Amino acid sequence: MQAFNSIRHNQLFLAVTLVAVIVNLWLIYRVAPVVSEQEMAQKIFYYHVPLAWNALLAYLLVAVSGVAYLVTRQTRWDQWSLAGAEVGTLFALLILITGPIWATPIWGKPWSWEPRLTTMLVLFLIFVGYFMVRAFGGPYERASRYAAVIGILAVIDIPLILTAVTWWAPEVQSHPQMEMAQQSSSILRVFLFSLFSFTLILIYLILFRRHVGAMEFRRLRGSEGTSDA
C-alpha cells in the first residue's frame, strides 16, 4: 500500500491546506481588528470556535459510520469511525485547552462549569471510554462493534447533555454568544476563513488517519494469515 503523502492528490491537498493555514495566521494577527474590551485574548476565538464546529463534525462522522459499520460490517466504515473519533477527540482536547486560556483573563478564572465547556468535557470523557473499548474490548471485530455503539450513543447523548447543563444553572450563562452577524465584517470574514482552513485541516487529518488505519488493518490481516499457515 502506498504511503499517504506519496499519492499525488494528497500532496496537492496538503499544499492547499498549508497555504490556507499560513494565510489564516496572517489574517488573524495582521488583518483582523483587535476588539477593544478583550484585546489579544479575543484572537483565540479564531481557533476555539472553528475547532468546536469541526470536533462536532468529526463526532457526527463517528456516529454515521458507526451505524454503517453495524449494518454492513465493512471494515472501511470502522476505519472512518476511528479516524473521526481520534481527530475529533484531538480537537475536543484543544477546545478544552483554549477555552480556559481565554477565560483566565476574561472571566478571572479558567473554568466556570459553564454549559458548553461542560458539555465538551463530558463528550471528551465519553470518547476516552470509546478508546478504552477499542483497546480492551476484546478481539478486533468485537471491539470495533462496541466502539461503533459508543459512538452512536454519544451522539444521541449530545442534545441531552446540552439541554441538561444549559438548564442546570441558568445564571451561569457567560459563554460569549458569537453573534458574528453583528460583528464588523472584517472580523466575520477572518472568522469564516479560519473556519474554512480548520475544516481543511480536519479533512486532511481524517483522510490521513483513515489511510493509516487501512494499512494497519492490512498488516493485522497479513500477520493473521501467516500465523494460520
Which residues contact other proteins (rule: CB under 8 A)?
A: 70, 122-123, 125-126, 128-129, 132-133, 136-138, 142-143, 145-146, 148-150, 152-154, 156-157, 160-161, 163-165, 167-168
Judged by beta carbon, residue 70 or residue 212, the one nearer other proteins is: 70
| Cell, residue 103 | 477565560
| Cell, residue 133 | 473499548
Specify whether the CB–CB gap between 62 and 84 falls below 8 A: yes
Distance of CA 219 to the CA centre of its chain: 27
For residue 208, the minimal CB distance to other proteins (Å) is: 28
For residue 75, the minimal CB distance to other proteins (Å) is: 15
Angle at 126 between CA 120 and CA 127, to 5 degrees: 90
> Which residue type is seen at 2?
Q
Judged by beta carbon, residue 169 or residue 192, the one nearer other proteins is: 169
Judged by beta carbon, residue 105 or residue 138, the one nearer other proteins is: 138
The helix/strand count (H/E) of the chain reads as 6, 0
Judged by beta carbon, residue 159 or residue 176, the one nearer other proteins is: 159
For residue 164, the minimal CB distance to other proteins (Å) is: 4
